[in-house]
Structures are given as C-alpha cells and as structure tokens.
Amino acid sequence: MKITALAGGIGGARFLVGVQAALPDADITVIGNTGDDITLHGLRICPDLDTVMYTLGGGISPERGWGRHDETFTVAAELAAYGVGPTWFGLGDRDLATHLVRTRMLAAGYPLTEVTAALCQRWKPGIRLLPMSDERVETHVVVETDEGRRAIHFQEWWLRMRAATPALEIISVGAEAAQPAPGVLDALTDADVVLLPPSNPVVSIGSILAVPGVRAALARTPAPVVGVSPIIGGAPVRGMADACLTAIGVATSAGAVATHYGARRRAAPGDGILDGWLVDTADTGTEVPGVTVKARPLLMTDVAATVEIVRAALELAGV
C-alpha cells in the first residue's frame, strides 16, 4: 500500500511511528514542512525534517521530541559566552553535525530534496522524506513591538515569545514563488491513501498547503484524504496551535480545523481537501458538511495507542 502523509514536527513524527508500526510493509512517503527552517550561525536548520528523520531513524531525544538523544550543548554555551545569540534556539552539538552537512551540500548546489535523501542514508527512517519545496519558504509572524509592527521568524515567535505575543499575521515568505519539490505532487496523486497527522494545522500542514499546486493535488487525488484532529476538547494536544489558529481567525476546535481544511467535493473540485476526519471522543458529535467524521480516543500515549488511531484513519479511508 502507498501511503503519503504531510507532516510537521513532533506530533507528525509521533503519528508516523504508528503508521510504520501499523503497516510495516507499506511504501510511505512523508512530505515534510520546511516553513520552520531557519539560518543561524550561517547554518541551514530544518527542524521538522530533522524531527521526522531522527524520530523514525532512532536518533531523536525522547524527552524533548526534537534534536538528538544523548545531546550536549557545549558549542551553544561557547557561543553564548561570546555574546553570540540567539540563545532561545537550543543548538545541540550532535545536531550541529546535521546542519553542517546540510549547509555544505546546499552550498555545493545540491537541492534540499537530495540533501534530505543523503542525510536519510545515515538515519534510514524507513520512509521517503521529501521537503515540501526545494525553494526557501519560511514562516514569519507579524507582531506588535515597542518599535511598531515587525515581522519576525516563526522560531523567534515560537521559542523566545512562546507564541504569547499575538500574531497579527502569519506569512509563508516565498511560497508564491516556490514549486513543490520533485515527487511531491506525484506522491499525492499516486497514493492509495493520504493522511494528515495531528500536526499544527497552520504552520505545519498549512505551510505545506501554501506551496502552489499542493492543495490542488490534494483536491483532485483519487486517494481518500483523511486527517486526525490536533485539537481535543477545544485545546491543542501539544504546542501552541491555538495561537496560530487565532491568528488566522479559525476557532480552536476539531470541527473548525476540518472546516478550514475544507470538504472535498468530487462533483465540483474546490480547494477542500478532506474526505474523513478523526476527532477525539471529547468532540463526539462534531459535524463537518461533506466530511465523514468519526470519534475515538486520539491521545498518542504510546505506539500501541497511535497504531489504533492509524488503523481508525485507514478504516475511515476505506483502505
């Protein structure tokens, strides 16, 4: 079975562990969000690609959910001693090697798709990991500061401000000029099923949908498209997706997120992308016109629980 999933960071990676465990023989392609990417100290860092790669490849820090296990932060401390920031983005010593290799390959002219494939040759995540685009698409957030409105990088808003300062606007900088990376559109139209894990619907899934052509490919793919709500009982399971949803005027509810993704009407393809939507039992009764909604426990407390969620999504997809 060919499965394609759009994935952000920690929640998406955790869900993918369940997909692999549920279907060990499946051919899985992951379209990874690169909107969180940032250049620091001259190094290109791809948090969501690395989180998927490390999580499925066995290198992730289980406590943090990002970065490497057995990590040290000696270089970060030395940079801080020089007064060289930012200190709000924790760069681990082991993780730095990934950014050094990636930056070196990008500088040599390799596209991010090939860089990602090269890094995965070490980690062997067991899935094909595609960046959403080889072009630079970065999520920036407009906030009110003492000096007036400023656009700051998503990571600064997320990590330094903890998304506590209201985002007046969330922008995928560069999206309009970007192309889907090679293989991305085919992965959406050739799949037997497309899954939307419980990643952040705005800055993870939303960033991927902002790449021209992706939403249209999802609207027209013959594969069923089923998503898993990242919102349970009106609150995000992790992270601060509520701050992101508020920024784009979407209520923080399982139903509102599905409505935001849109129902896929085969008769008249619009830009809706959902056929099915899994909500937690706390949200039983959620109705989304044009979308088949099923309620079941959605907390990914361990791999076995995640496997059950994946199985429910595949059942809802009818595969």
Least distance (Å) between residue 288 CB and ligand FO1 = 25
- What torsion, rounded to 10 degrees, do the Cα atoms 128, 52, 38, 232 define? 120
Q: Give the helix/strand (H/E) hosting 49.
A: helix 47-57
State the Cα–Cα distance between residues 6 and 31, nearest whole angstrom. Answer: 5
Beta strands in 159-288 (DSSP E): 169-173, 193-196, 225-228, 231-232, 235-236, 276-279
Least distance (Å) between residue 199 CB and ligand FO1 = 8
Closest CB to ligand FO1: residue number? 90
Q: Which is nearer to ligand FO1, 55 or 229 (CB)?
A: 55
Segment contacting ligand FO1 by CB under 6 A, of 7-15, 18-26, 144-152, 179-187: 7-15
State the Cα–Cα distance between residues 253 and 228, nearest whole angstrom. Answer: 12
Q: Are 154 and 35 in contact (CB under 8 A)?
A: yes
Q: Which of residues 118-137 bind ligand FO1 (CB under 6 A)?
A: none
Work out whether 90 is an interface residue with ligand FO1 (CB under 6 A).
yes
Segment contacting ligand FO1 by CB under 6 A, of 3-11, 20-28, 124-132, 273-281: 3-11
Q: Which is nearer to ligand FO1, 36 or 283 (CB)?
A: 36
Q: Which is nearer to ligand FO1, 90 or 183 (CB)?
A: 90
Q: Which of residues 141-170 bind ligand FO1 (CB under 6 A)?
A: 155, 158-159
State the Cα–Cα distance between residues 281 and 295, nearest whole angstrom. Answer: 5
Q: Which residues of 19-45 are buried (b: 16+ CB within 10 A; e: fewer)?
A: bbebbeebebbbbbbbbbbbebbebbb
Least distance (Å) between residue 9 CB and ligand FO1 = 3
Q: Which is nearer to ligand FO1, 154 or 261 (CB)?
A: 154
Least distance (Å) between residue 173 CB and ligand FO1 = 15
Q: Which is nearer to ligand FO1, 159 or 216 (CB)?
A: 159
Least distance (Å) between residue 166 CB and ligand FO1 = 18
Q: Which residues of 189-228 are buried (b: 16+ CB within 10 A; e: fewer)?
A: eebbbbbbbbbbbbbbbbbbbbbeebbebbbebebbbbbb
Q: Which of residues 22-81 bind ligand FO1 (CB under 6 A)?
A: 36, 45, 47-48, 50-51, 66-67
Q: Are 137 and 35 in contact (CB under 8 A)?
A: yes
Q: Which is nearer to ligand FO1, 54 or 277 (CB)?
A: 54
Q: Are 167 and 194 in contact (CB under 8 A)?
A: no
Work out whether 237 is an interface residue with ligand FO1 (CB under 6 A).
no
Kindly list the residues in this chain that would bind ligand FO1 in the complex (CB under 6 A). 8-10, 36, 45, 47-48, 50-51, 66-67, 89-90, 95, 155, 158-159
